[in-house]
Structure 1
Amino acid sequence: MTPTRPSATGTAVRTALLPNVPEAVMTDAVAHTTSTTTRIAVEQQPDCRIRIEVMDISSTESRPDRPEDTSEYGRGLLVVDALSSRWGVTRHQGGKPTWPNCDPYATADRNREYGVRST
């Protein structure tokens, strides 16, 4: 099956929601790690994808939660998973970046990948 471009409405909705991705990753790093230092970088790739990288110095792993329906918290990385075309965590000495890649033109059945990598 060949993916098709999403409708203009789907693209507009996805584009409107993309600002939630860096906020969700940064909130996860601040709220769920012991890191006292966090930084964020946002870069537009040549193919129009947007790469976001939030670096913290904690060894606490970033993973999506499955919150209770009535919980006010715990959905940040679920938002990242839903809106990014690819995301993961790269562990190395001194911390880890959590890095979603966002593609405003991705189709609903995009090839998503989540991974934790150690260097």
Structure 2
Amino acid sequence: MTATARPSALGAPAYSQVLLREPGAAALARQMVRTVLDTWHLPHLADEAAQVTSELVTNAVDHARGRCLRVTVTRISECRVCLAVIDKSHDKPELKTALPTDEHGRGLAVIDAFAQGWGVDTLQWGKRVWAVLGDGAGEDEQ
């Protein structure tokens, strides 16, 4: 796994990785996120972050276009991170209530349950779906 460390536009520490938009991408993204959180001494966020990352990536694999997607992890404060997946689709995900018999449709509900906030940023060529995890209520989310 190769992840690129670079400062974000806000100067916050960030890692990003471009992955092929294929079923194995979620496992690679989870591994990257766990490694980053360990590096930042935030292992208590690892399980929830891995679950949220998995849902974000799976949504992009299932619904986006293009060969690749980008996963980013940004440290927005001492104890908070923003996880994001960037893809080439303009279709915004919608939070739904899945029926017990539905096989799909729970991803955003999982993200909503674990994250302190989440949203979608429209980009010229696609979108960024992000979620904030960690302590620090009242701080800016991105």
Q: TM-score, normalised by structure 1?
A: 0.69
CA RMSD, aligned part only? 2.3
Q: Which has the higher contact order (CA 8 A, sep 6+)?
A: 1
**SS where residue 77 of structure 2 aligns?**
coil
Which consecutive segments of 4 or more residues in structure 1 shift more than 6 A?
none
Give CA-to-partner distance per residue, 1:14-73, whole Å, 9 cap, x none.
763331001101111111233432110112222311111100011111112222112221
Match of 1:10 in 2: none
Q: Structure 1 CA distance, aligned partners of 2:47 and 2:54? A: 13
Q: Structure 1 CA distance, aligned partners of 2:109 and 2:45? A: 15
Q: How does 1:18-29 map to 2 (within 5 A)?
A: 18-29=49-60
Name the CA shift for 1:34/1:66 in 2 (closer, same or farther; >3 Å): farther
Q: Judging by fraction of residues, say which structure has more strand.
A: 2
Q: Structure 2 CA distance, aligned partners of 1:17 and 1:92? A: 26
Match of 1:56 in 2: 87
Name the CA shift for 1:16/1:92 in 2 (closer, same or farther; >3 Å): closer
**SS where residue 101 of structure 2 aligns?**
coil
Q: Structure 1 CA distance, aligned partners of 2:100 and 2:75? A: 35
Letter in 2 for 1:97: R
Q: Structure 1 CA distance, aligned partners of 2:90 and 2:46? A: 32
Equivalent residue for 2:117, pick from 83, 86, 104: 86
Name the CA shift for 1:50/1:14 in 2 (closer, same or farther; >3 Å): closer
| Residues 29, 35 of structure 1: 8 Å contact kept | no
| Residues 45, 133 of structure 2: 8 Å contact kept | no
Equivalent residue for 1:41, pick from 72, 82, 99: 72
Name the CA shift for 1:74/1:35 in 2 (closer, same or farther; >3 Å): farther
Equivalent residue for 1:72, pick from 103, 112, 115: 103
| Residues 36, 57 of structure 1: 8 Å contact kept | no
- Greater CA deviation, 82-91 or 32-41? 32-41
Q: Structure 1 CA distance, aligned partners of 2:109 and 2:95? A: 6
Q: TM-score, normalised by structure 2?
A: 0.59
User: Unaligned regions of 5+ residues in structure 2, if any?
Assistant: 1-43
**SS where residue 53 of structure 1 aligns?**
strand
